[in-house]
Every structure is written in C-alpha cells, then in structure tokens.
A and B are shown apart, each in its own frame.
Chain A
Amino acid sequence: MVENLVEVVGVKKWFPVAQGFIAGLTGAPKEYVRAVDGVTFEIRKGEVFGLAGESGSGKSTVGRLVLRLLDPTDGSVVFDGVDLVSLSHEEMRTLRHRMQVVFQDPLASLNPRMTIGQAIEHPLKIHMPQLSAEDRHARALEMLDQVGLAPPEFFFAKYPHQISGGQRQRVVFARGMITAPDLIVADEPIAMADVSVRALLLDLMMELKDEFDLTYLFITHDLATAKYVCNRIAVMYLGKIVEIGPLEAVYTNAQHPYTRALLDAVPVPDPKHRRTEPLPAGEIPNPINPPPGCNFHPRCPIAQAGICDGIEPILLPVGGDPEHLVSCHLRTGEYQDLDPFK
C-alpha cells in the first residue's frame, strides 16, 4: 500500500480584486480571481508528481498552498496526516524543515551578500539551533559535495554572482536538502538553465531523490521536460485539473481536448515531425469570470451546446483505469456517446 505524503482536497484560492473607493461605497459585488478553483489530488511517498499548465493556470498557486505559504479559501491540505490549515504559525514553523522549495531563478532565491556556505548553513541555524558552528560547517561542506559542487571548500566561500547559473541552482538544492526534507516543491526548477545544463540538473534531482528518499511536486509549463522525471502528472487549466494520471497514460492516451492541444503544441526537435494538428481557438479566458460549465468549452473543438456550456464536468476514470481521470463530458460519464470523434 502506497502512502500519501500530501493530500489536497477541494482546495480553492480566490484572490480579491482591488476595488475602487466608489465601488466599495456603492456596494458593488466583490470580484475574485479564481486562481485555484477546487483542486483535489494526492502526492504519494517517493514519487515525482508533475503539475503542468500554462501561465495563469494556477499551478504555482497550488505549490504555495501545498507549502502553506498561502492559506486556502476553501478545502484542506494534509501533509503526512496533519491538516496544515488547522496548524498555528508556530506549529507550521516546526513542520517547515520537512518541506522545501526550489524556484525558477536561483539568483533571486539567494542572498547576494551571503556566501554559498552561509546560505546553505542558514536553514540549520533556524531549524536545528542546537548544532555547533563546526557541525553546521561540516554538514554544509558535505551537502556541497552531494550536489556536485566540488571541491566544497572552494564553493563555500564564493558569492552567488561568482558562479554559473547551473551551479547556483545546485546551491539552492543543497540549501533545501540540508534540513533533510520529505517533500521538495520544485517550481520550474530548470526553466532558466541552458539546454546542456538542464539534463544535468534533472539528473541531480533524481540522484537526490534516491539518496534522501524524497518526494517531489514538480511544477512546469514544459511537458517535454516533465516526461523525463514524473511518475504521475496533472494538467491544469484555469484553476482546475482537467486530467490526471500516470505519465504514460496521459501522454499516450490523452483524453481531454486541452491536454491533447498542449501535447501537440510542444515543438518537437525534429523538422521531420512538424506539427500539423490545428490549435485551439482564442486565448485563456479571464479567471475573474470563467466561462460556465466546462471552462474550456469556448475553445474546445468538440464542445456540445447545451452540455459543455452549462454543466460542470468532474474528474472521472477513463475506461476502466481508476488511476487515469479526466474532466470532460464527452470522454467519460453519461454524455460520452455525444462525442463527435468517437
């Protein structure tokens, strides 16, 4: 039986839209950006769970909710059996060393006035104040070696601007790993790196995972990269998960028209396989007033009037596969016979 490290249940995050003074006085209805609008999934111990989507899909907001860097508007986030929303800030702080985060831009994540060594030691000062300075130093050196920054003494004294972008991201990983976390939320961790560096960083992520029994939430816009690391993947559109399942099932048997479009749009590094499939019309709608029913229906090539524009679909298993779920009236459930392409 695989245990779940994280359970996200019906989570919503609505951000209020700033209102003018007059609108506030006249009692105009308050508007919200529905960044995350009812998302449910679990992250199993030891897996790499991918969360993919375009800008504005809500994938990064979900990452922040999982870490409780944001409080959800509704729903719950359970981390290793503990409901994070019920915890006080003090209780949350004691749990924080078990979850770490790696963002896209390592230069923005590192303090320019701290040496690499100081940056890596810093979490130990906060979470393990009982350690002596020598112990901290020794652990930081060991961690530098783990992430492939050798000789560690050399890098320990460097400042972030003195090393390359790929090396900086290694430092961010080292700083995250030093508190021996269970979960790493990696939000576009390799998006800034050059092509030849990306493969090395993905490699490092997988080595660390094996070495330290990590679980990853891998947030990315790049489905081609996700393929190399994820065990399962969820695709988000406008604050909701439209499809979720084992990587292979989603990539080879994508059911949701949006998932298909996203997979088709990824440029293939081979001029013999240029894209021929049509692309969905229009652009991502405004998340303040998302379309009714299935929020993809205005762009969907197979949308059926009277169903897709009125009834909100829910995630249901594809065929008999309880692992592969899709949120589309025409692929699962009572209306699937209406699918014009079936």
Chain B
Amino acid sequence: MEDFLYSVRGLNVRYATRSGDVHAVEDVSLDIRRGEILGLVGESGCGKSTFGKAIMRMIRTPGRIESGELWFDGADLMTYSGRQMQSVRGGEIGMVFQDPMTSLNPVQRVAEHLTETIRTHEPKVSELAAMARAEELVEKLGIRRERLDDYPHQLSGGMRQRVMISLALALRAKLVIADEPTTSLDVIVEAKFLDLLRELRDEFDLTILMITHNIGVVAEVADRVAVMYAGRMAEIGDVYGVFAEPKHPYTVGLLNSVPNIDLDEHDLYKMEGAPPNLLSPPSGCPFHPRCPKAMDICAAEVPVLHEVVPGQATACWLYDGVGVAGG
C-alpha cells in the first residue's frame, strides 16, 4: 500500500472570460507520495501554476474549481470552510513562489515575518518562544542569526528564498508547494538552493511539489516528474524512467529541446506549432495537432492516463493496449 500525502481526483479548473471558459486544468488526477520531491513541468499556460493554486484552494474569481476531489493527509479539503483552509495554508501546506521580493513585506524585518507567522497559527506561543524558534530555524537554513534584523531588501535573492522556505518550515509544513522557486536565482545560487531543498526534505520529512518550466532543475532534484500539456497530465513517472525513456511524444519533444551543456549532445529538437488556445482546446488528445505520431483516433477521443511500464504512466493512444497487468 503506497502512502499518499495528497491525492487529486478528476480536478477541473475553469477561468471565466468574456469569450467563454478557459479550461486551465482538465480532468487531472495525481498522487503525491509522502516524502517525495515531485517535479511538475510544462510550458507557460499549461496549467501547472493553476494546478498548484487549486490544490490549496487558492483559485479566485473569475476562476473556479469546477469539480474534483482534493484529499490531503486523509482530509477532504473540498469540504473545508474558508477559515479551515486558512489554517491549512501556510500551516500544513507551505508555499514558496518565484519572486520572494513580492512575497515578503518590505517594511517588516525577517524576524517579524517569522514570529508573526508562528503566532498567527499558534496564538499560545509567546513572542520570546517564537523568536527562539525563528533563530534556530534560520541557522539551519544557513542564514546568520543577525540577519533576522534585516529587511527583505537587504538580503540577496538566494537568502530571500531561504527566508520563504523558513516561513513554510516555521509551522512544520508537511507539504511545500514551490512554484518556480529558483527561476529568479543565478545558477550557483540555484544549485545551492536545490541542495538545501534536498537536505530539508530529509531533515524535516518534507514532501515537495516543485512546479517549474526548468527541466534541468527537475532532473537535478526530483524523485518523480509529472508533465502537463494544455491543462492535462501527459505523463508521470519515476524521474530516471521518464528521462531515459519518455513515452508521450510531447515529453520526448520537450526533453530533446532542452539545451544541454555537454558538448557531445545532439542538436536541439524544434517542436512545430504552438500550445493550443485553452478557450477551445483541440478535440481528442490536445497534443495531436503538433504530434509527429498522431493517428486518426487521437483527434477523436481523449487518451486516458494509464501505466505503461511499472512506475510510468502516460496519456497517449500509442500505448493503447500496452500496460502493466492490473495497472
């Protein structure tokens, strides 16, 4: 029996626009295993960030969760009240976004960010005890105690991102949703941050959902990878398996178009066309208009995500009838 911290079933998210509903997330089911780093990748507009927000029920009008089940650690989040969700967000589920400067309060010292977070969620903790916890925490993240007196603008980008993580850890989050956490960082700082994430996962028993467009980052840090395209899940599986033998033609194209610093590597793959308009997505498989292997059925029917080799599932008609026994 696998231990899932978060299970999403049949999630549909829509954004209402004047021209009709945008199908940002379309029938996505996903399990996040306890203790894993799951990389969720895709290009702009594929719905990955909307998915990240939806599982915290942070979709605001004109967006809405049309349907779906959200099971977090045994609890059905769809039945939670607004107030209950507030204590889950920032509590058991922490968040780290791309630009720490817009997530931190510019007129609040780092220490106040931390103590306020702790005391909002745990009002019984004294200011002094909260401060002690803050000090201990930032030191674990490689920030000197004195820097707690600094304002966000006095910190470097890498340090600000560490502060964001410390805010998530301050309340002993079980799940951290990191949306493009390293995109504003330089490579060396990024590499250090990824090292830190791995250490934290081990030390705090964290589960991390890492949402990113950067395939290299996922290869570097994730245990499993999920690939989204046009609001749907195209492929999901063990990171070694997916990178060694991607099944979905979109994953194949995506991986081959990533620049690789290795001088012996192949030329870059040039994917034809552009992602579809989600106001009126193509019929059948959303990738079929760009797919080099498209068949008649691809335009007619939506393929179902199913396991095709152990630990790797894809939504593609090429693998119809191919599958793992019982999978």
Contacts and interface: CB of A to CB of B under 8 A. Distances in A.
B44 interface: yes
Contacts of B270: 196, 199-200, 203
B188 A279 contact: yes
Contact of B188 (A224, A251, A262, A269): A262
A275 B191 CA distance: 9
Contact of A252 (B156, B220, B263): B263
B220 A196 contact: no
Given A196-B253, A275-B220, A283-B158, A265 B263 contact: no
Interface string A260-291: 01111111111110110001100100000000
B263 A267 contact: no
A54 B259 contact: no
B269 interface: yes
A188 interface: no
B271 A196 contact: yes
A224 B220 CA distance: 15
Interface in A156-200: 164-166, 194-200
Contacts of B215: 195, 269
Contact of B274 (A166, A225, A252, A271): A166
B254 interface: yes
Contacts of A227: 259-261, 263
Nearest to A266: B261
Given A227-B263, A251-B263, A268-B220, A196 B187 contact: no
A224 B216 contact: yes
Given A224-B260, A271-B219, 7 more contacts: A194-B43, A196-B43, A196-B271, A221-B187, A227-B261, A269-B215, A274-B220
A37 B122 CA distance: 51
A269 B258 contact: yes
Contacts of B180: none
A269 B213 contact: no
A202 interface: yes
B240 interface: yes
A223 B191 CA distance: 14
Contacts of B195: 279
Shortest beta-carbon contacts, A-B, top 3? A267-B216, A199-B268, A224-B259
Contacts of A55: 157, 186
Interface of A: 54-55, 164-166, 194-200, 202-203, 221-225, 227-228, 248, 251-252, 261-272, 274-275, 279-280, 283
Given A194-B213, A222-B259, A228-B268, A270 B187 contact: no
B187 A269 contact: no
A228 B267 CA distance: 8
B188 A268 contact: no
Interface string B244-274: 1000000001110111111100011111001
Contacts of B243: 269-272
B111 interface: no
A335 B44 CA distance: 50
A202 to B, nearest CB: 7
A223 B268 CA distance: 15
Contact of A228 (B188, B190, B255, B259): B259
Contacts of B269: 199
Interface of B: 43-44, 156-159, 186-192, 194-195, 213-217, 219-220, 222, 239-240, 243-244, 253-255, 257-263, 267-271, 274
Given A203-B270, A266-B216, A283-B156, A195 B187 contact: no
A267 B268 contact: no
Contacts of B158: 283
A277 to B, nearest CB: 9
Contact of A268 (B43, B219, B257, B274): B219
A272 B240 contact: yes
Contacts of B254: 195-196
Contacts of A222: 259
Contact of B259 (A165, A225, A279): A225
Contact of B257 (A195, A223, A266, A272): A195
Contacts of B259: 198, 222, 224-225, 227-228
Nearest to A281: B192
Given A251-B263, A269-B219, A198 B257 contact: yes
Nearest to B191: A265
Contact of B187 (A165, A203, A266): A266
Contacts of B253: 196
Contacts of B190: 265, 267
A261 B189 CA distance: 11
B213 A267 contact: no
10 contacts: A55-B186, A164-B274, A198-B268, A227-B260, A248-B263, A266-B261, A267-B187, A267-B190, A274-B219, A275-B191
B216 A269 contact: yes
A267 B214 contact: yes
A217 to B, nearest CB: 19
A223 B253 CA distance: 21
A281 to B, nearest CB: 10
Contact of A261 (B43, B188, B255): B188
A263 B157 CA distance: 20
A269 B259 CA distance: 8
A199 B215 CA distance: 14
Contacts of A164: 274
A279 B270 CA distance: 33
A268 B216 contact: yes
Contacts of A248: 263
A202 B267 CA distance: 11
Nearest to B290: A196
